[in-house]
Structure 1
Amino acid sequence: MADAPVFIDPVCGSGTLVLEAAMMATDRAPGLSRDYWGFEGCADFEPEQFDDLLTDADERFEKGLENIPVMVGADIDGKAVELAQENAKRLGLANKLTFVLADCINLEETLAHAGIDTRQSGFVAMNPPYGVRLLSDELESFYKKLSTGLRCLSDAWNMIVITPDSTFDSSIGYDAKETQGVYNGAIEATLRKYQMGNTFLVEAPLVTLEGKEQMVEVSSDHAMQFAGRLRKMAKARRKWARKNDIHAYRIYDADLPDYAVAVDVFEEDETEDIFLLVTEYQAPKEIDTQKAARRFNDACAVASALLEIPSDHLFTRVRRQDKGGSQYRRKEHHSHRIVVREAGYPFELDLSGYLDTGLFLDHRITRALVGKLACDTSFLNLFAYTGTASVYAASGGAQTTTTVDMSQTYLDWAKRNMERVGFTGSNHSFVRADVLSWVERAVTENKTYDLVFLDPPTFSNSKTMGERTWDIQRDHASLIEKVARLLNPGATIIFSGNLRSFKLDNERIESLGLSIENITAQTIPEDFSRNPKIHFCYVLKAQ
């Protein structure tokens, strides 16, 4: 900053960085405005010497004010800007600093109003919002705005950023020249230094699914290979989905190794609006974090442009460990709920926040099987999630349904799904319980069922399970043994899961008097055909 005539923080909040920089630039001593110091009460305190120090500090501050550079703080939060102005006033800097209400995307306009030429040298410093301390639902949108705003700066500008986000460079389109590990309070972060000027992002031509020509901003022309593959699959899957009256489906599933993402399409029932969900698969450890982030950003940009999806209809799931944060970028969330029809049934989905949307797309055929087998049965849905299998069973003619899950959030969701189709009343019960414990109690209470849908997680160490843990490979046979004691003669268990390496304990299952039919291949939908191990599925039938 020493040689820069301009200092700006485009996301200044209450003005901390601008105020600290101003104090350094003006040689202002910390605490200069204080009326009293605790040490003044000490027996050996020498007031005359201290007065001399204060006088010297005042003179240095007054001299520094004569040479202070242009210093600007901007923020989109009006209350934060007011607080920054009040803080500057308390420090005697109100007439030397400028704090304005402005969005970072309009940085060039903000600088112009302050009389700053973006071609002259300058210095940017910021501690931007991120998904650890703040809600991160709109983090990607913020980064896009910030990146756009920074484009106005020439290579005569430098920038310092404090962030825990290991993918910040990829998100804004600039490579850090230097980095240093720091702590921002208790949060582990990095101090990143940039020279502004040319971004590494480039504009590439793209033809949309509807044949329109447009430009899309990506980090590499290599992204056009992804665009080509996505266009091919999107056309084929859209035709298939329309033919089969499917409104939630996958159009891309890590088809190219360099773009390890899944792209799902959701058609909202009432508005017919199209939404996209782009989910990142965990990259191998040998893949650089920044490279993986750039590819993911490119995939999102290409998918949005290719299908002409507005930014507020594009949702992401990013599984990546950031410093000081969780594995999932969306640690906090604002729900975005839509209703999507499957086989005519309206299901509530949440595209933002939870790890899953509320509808496992790969189980589409399995749910239909539940409906076909449900007529005149008593149906039990274990590890029920949002109760979509219960909807199929009730619609298929089940006399009763029992929906069991340990999450009240999911049970409430399941109730809404059932009510939306018209299934209410005492014939349809919802039980909040640890499934393992509930099954044991149900056995002692002599409960019995004709059809059971059993779709447990691969692993669980939930607090509600006490000291127990759940491992599907280790524990599935014991669970099925207990569930088998709930079966009426001739009853059926549909048993599924997602462990790719799963092996059923055939010998033990058969010893329970259950026949086994592996129907995995028959339950893999067309849009998951590239991933035949997305789930397994068995029909276990009581003799």
Structure 2
Amino acid sequence: MPTPTYELFASTPKAMEDILAEELKSLGVTHTKTTVAGVAFQGDLETAYRTCLWSRTANRILLILSTFSVTSQDDLYNGIAKINWFEHLEPTGTFAVTFNVKNSEVINNSHFGALKVKDAIVDQMRKKFEIRPSIDTERPSIRINVHLHGEKAQLSLDLSGESLHRRGYRDISISAPIKENLAAAMLLRSGWPAIAKQGGTLLDPMCGSGTLLLEGAMMAADFAPGLLRDYFGFLGWKKHDATCWEKLIGEAEQRKWVGMAKKMPVIVGFDQDRQTVHAALGHINNARLHNKIHIERRDISDAKPAEAWQPGLVICNPPYGERLGDEQETAELYTHFGETLKTQFIGWKAALIISNPELGFRLGIRSQKPITLYNGALECRLLRLNIEEKAFFTPKAQTQEERIALVTAAVNAPEPDQEGAKVSAEMFANRLKKNLKKWRQWAKQNQIRCYRVYDADLPEYAVAVDVYEAEQTWINVQEYEPPKSIDQHKADQRLAGVMAEIPGVFGVSRDHVFLKIRRRQRKTDQYEKFSELGRFHTVEEGGCKLRVNFEDYLDTGLFLDHRPIRMLIQQQAQGKRFLNLFAYTGSATVHAALGGAKQTTTIDMSNTYINWAKANMALNNQVDENQHQYIQADCLEWLETEARQAYKKRFDLIFLDPPTFSNSKRMEDAFDIQENHVALINNALALLAVGGMLYFSTNFRRFKFDHAAFSAFTVTDISAATVPADFTRNSKIHYCWSIKNDATS
């Protein structure tokens, strides 16, 4: 009997498809077709098993059972029911369903789709055997994968069972470890296999839990990445070929024995944190590589090679500077790292993955063409460096604190050329005076106390200027970071000129003018903390009193562009149950409370902002804890949990304003608004009462709203109506949609 050939698909993180295709060819696969986030190929069971065992870059290996059209919910059920599931699963076995959906007009909820698939399988088994298989989401006998794109459904068995990046050695959880298949991709693209064959050294000077070192050692030792795993998705499958699998395991064990017996390259890791060093040692021991990898507790500034080491590859996954309040510290780390490379590692190669090009620039070493990779949802660049003097340069980039200090010094103690800056800023001052006259009158007519008067009207002066009328007048200035093509000294002088002119235009003292630098594509700016002075001022908006802070954070605690949506919430809140998600400082909750909301619930991950929200409510005499609830939680996890509750449809008005991106230490996975907005909004809609209204807003400029996913609701783009008049120069400051639940029950 001829050996059956199957249609197979190997999934991988985005931007790693070509690496995976090369790897599959090295495993004997002759025909591959690269698609987004994966590679399609053909092969027998041995090919599929070998890929599960040896692929270093794949996430999952899917064996495709069928493809069919889905134009109704019944089509999905019937398409699953056409498969004879007894060929794959015992009636007393267990299974799990993974359901992914995109651009479907009939099924827009992955949880609902998974339930339909489960029902079709269970009904078939119960009808035939009068018993049914059970659900096991951890280690089922088989895992079923359904991918519905438009009207086309693809039904597969997940032979991997769980993601192949889980090698089987990790048992200690530390903060944000890099996934093993991304680590493998970094090593492959950095040329480590060739360096290892030549006896070169592998060093990770910020090794964390040791992932890069373990992957490098396994490559050097010809150690199959799946050899340590005790679970695959095919082990409980009725068609599993145990003889074939045992043969492949035996071959892999033999290759590992040969690889480990030969002289291995030096593989070393440093880390300053005692806990992560302990984790790395534990993982190395679990992988039975304790004699092949050396770990030391050592700071990056003390990293240097031993005399006996052959020059090789320095590779690491350093901090990205995306987390709360650590940008300055991270920038200094990269500067120190660059100096260490230039002084201690001449003749070596280096590679590191970064998300912020500014941080890579701080190394002071020119790189080869960066390679795009994704760490979760976060787009990153793999920098590859040759550590040689001709590649060295002196970085001129400055942190926000350095630039503000420089500009402030220039304003307070003008040097000769500062007068030139003042003269050149007259054009800015004239435009600012004209704008102020217009917007001050408009604000007075509309009883607005906080507003924008200038927003990069003149290209040479790319700043935003906001007025806050509190007990006194305060001016908040934000510079849009100039591009690298602009001479830094000229940019500093222009900004100094701006800061010199503003006090005179507004008639305020210099200590009432605050400067912040808003960097490009920062996803977590509102949470960035600069100091802890704790100086708050009270402003008014729509009859609400709100606390603002000009010094401790990049943002003040009040997003002025959301003024119209807050007023709309206030107007509609009477007698409503209001939910404020990603609430920040709770200003929308204050508006809802003063608008007569029956109940309010305010949720944010940050305890700082929850306390700020409580203080805002107290300013407005809204202190009834039975009426006003505050929850410190990851909104994503909270929504997923609440959406499954029986009493879920309990809010009449919801405001959902998530960050564009979040990689908070308290979140298990990174969040990306474009990729995750459908699931996020669906979970929020599960809490929306019949006749209720949800307002969804985002400030991601390239955002594309998936209208098809919410066809059961009335969705209206209200972006233009919610951008206030003082922000019309920047009409893409945010996008906003109203989503109404018009269901009758």
Q: Which residue of 2 aligns with 1:452?
A: 654
Q: Which residue of 2 aligns with 1:362?
A: 561
Of 468, 471, 484, which aligns to 1:266? 468
1:485: how far off?
1.1
8 Å CA contact retained: 2:422, 2:500: no
Q: Which residue of 1 aligns with 2:593?
A: 394
8 Å CA contact retained: 1:320, 1:327: no
2:702 is equivalent to residue 501 of structure 1? yes
1-structure distance, mates of 2:689, 2:531: 44
2:685 is equivalent to residue 487 of structure 1? no
Instruction: Give the secondary-structure state (helix, strand or coil) at the position aligned to 1:219.
Output: helix
Q: Which residue of 2 aligns with 1:536?
A: 735
Of 179, 193, 200, which aligns to 2:417? 200
Of 511, 515, 528, which aligns to 2:714? 515
Instruction: Give the secondary-structure state (helix, strand or coil) at the position aligned to 2:708.
Output: helix
2:465 is equivalent to residue 465 of structure 1? no
**In the superposition, relative to structure 1, how do residues 400 and 328 fare at CA in structure 2: closer, same or farther (>3 Å)?**
closer
**In the superposition, relative to structure 1, how do residues 330 and 537 fare at CA in structure 2: closer, same or farther (>3 Å)?**
closer
Of 618, 625, 633, which aligns to 1:433? 633
8 Å CA contact retained: 2:479, 2:516: yes
2:431 is equivalent to residue 229 of structure 1? yes
Task: Give me the CA root mean square deviation.
Answer: 2.7
Of 456, 471, 485, which aligns to 1:286? 485
8 Å CA contact retained: 2:528, 2:553: no
Q: Which residue of 2 aligns with 1:378?
A: 577
Alignment of 1:77-96 (within 5 A): none
1:275: how far off?
0.7
1:167: how far off?
7.8
2-structure distance, mates of 1:409, 1:484: 27
Alignment of 1:326-365 (within 5 A): 331-365=530-564
1-structure distance, mates of 2:663, 2:680: 16
8 Å CA contact retained: 1:520, 1:537: yes
Of 602, 609, 628, which aligns to 1:403? 602
8 Å CA contact retained: 1:335, 1:351: no
1-structure distance, mates of 2:414, 2:541: 50
1-structure distance, mates of 2:655, 2:680: 13
Q: Which residue of 1 aligns with 2:446?
A: 244
Q: Which residue of 1 aligns with 2:276?
A: none
1:336: how far off?
2.5
**In the superposition, relative to structure 1, how do residues 453 and 350 fare at CA in structure 2: closer, same or farther (>3 Å)?**
same
**In the superposition, relative to structure 1, how do residues 294 and 328 fare at CA in structure 2: closer, same or farther (>3 Å)?**
farther
2-structure distance, mates of 1:354, 1:515: 37
AA at the equivalent of 2:437: K
2:456 is equivalent to residue 254 of structure 1? yes
**Which runs of 5 or more structure 2 residues have no equivalent in the other structure?**
1-326, 330-397
1:220: how far off?
4.8
Instruction: Give the secondary-structure state (helix, strand or coil) at the position aligned to 1:500.
Output: coil
AA at the equivalent of 2:484: K
AA at the equivalent of 2:464: A
AA at the equivalent of 2:448: I
Q: Which residue of 2 aligns with 1:424?
A: 623
2-structure distance, mates of 1:233, 1:493: 35
AA at the equivalent of 1:248: C
Q: Which residue of 1 aligns with 2:242?
A: none
1:422: how far off?
1.4
TM-score, scaled relative to structure 2: 0.43
Q: Which residue of 1 aligns with 2:726?
A: 527
2-structure distance, mates of 1:316, 1:405: 27
Instruction: Give the secondary-structure state (helix, strand or coil) at the position aligned to 2:681.
Output: helix
Percent identity between matched residues is 42
1:328: how far off?
12
1:329: how far off?
11
Residue deviations 1:283-342 (CA, integer Å, cap 9, x gap): 112112222121111111111111121022111112479xxxx99997334232100000
1-structure distance, mates of 2:529, 2:682: 38
Instruction: Give the secondary-structure state (helix, strand or coil) at the position aligned to 1:463.
Output: coil
Instruction: Give the secondary-structure state (helix, strand or coil) at the position aligned to 1:503.
Output: coil
1:374: how far off?
1.2
**In the superposition, relative to structure 1, how do residues 430 and 253 fare at CA in structure 2: closer, same or farther (>3 Å)?**
same
Residue deviations 1:16-72 (CA, integer Å, cap 9, x gap): xxxxxxxxxxxxxxxxxxxxxxxxxxxxxxxxxxxxxxxxxxxxxxxxxxxxxxxxx
Residue deviations 1:223-278 (CA, integer Å, cap 9, x gap): 1110111010011011111111111111100100010001111111xx3x111111
1:132: how far off?
6.5
Instruction: Give the secondary-structure state (helix, strand or coil) at the position aligned to 2:502.
Output: helix
8 Å CA contact retained: 1:171, 1:294: no
8 Å CA contact retained: 1:489, 1:542: yes
**Which runs of 5 or more structure 1 residues have no equivalent in the other structure?**
1-130, 134-162, 175-195, 203-217
8 Å CA contact retained: 2:449, 2:468: yes
Question: What is the count of residue pairs matched by the alignment?
Answer: 338
2-structure distance, mates of 1:495, 1:330: 26
1:364: how far off?
0.5
TM-score, scaled relative to structure 1: 0.59
AA at the equivalent of 1:240: W
Residue deviations 1:200-225 (CA, integer Å, cap 9, x gap): 121xxxxxxxxxxxxxxx62522111
AA at the equivalent of 1:487: L
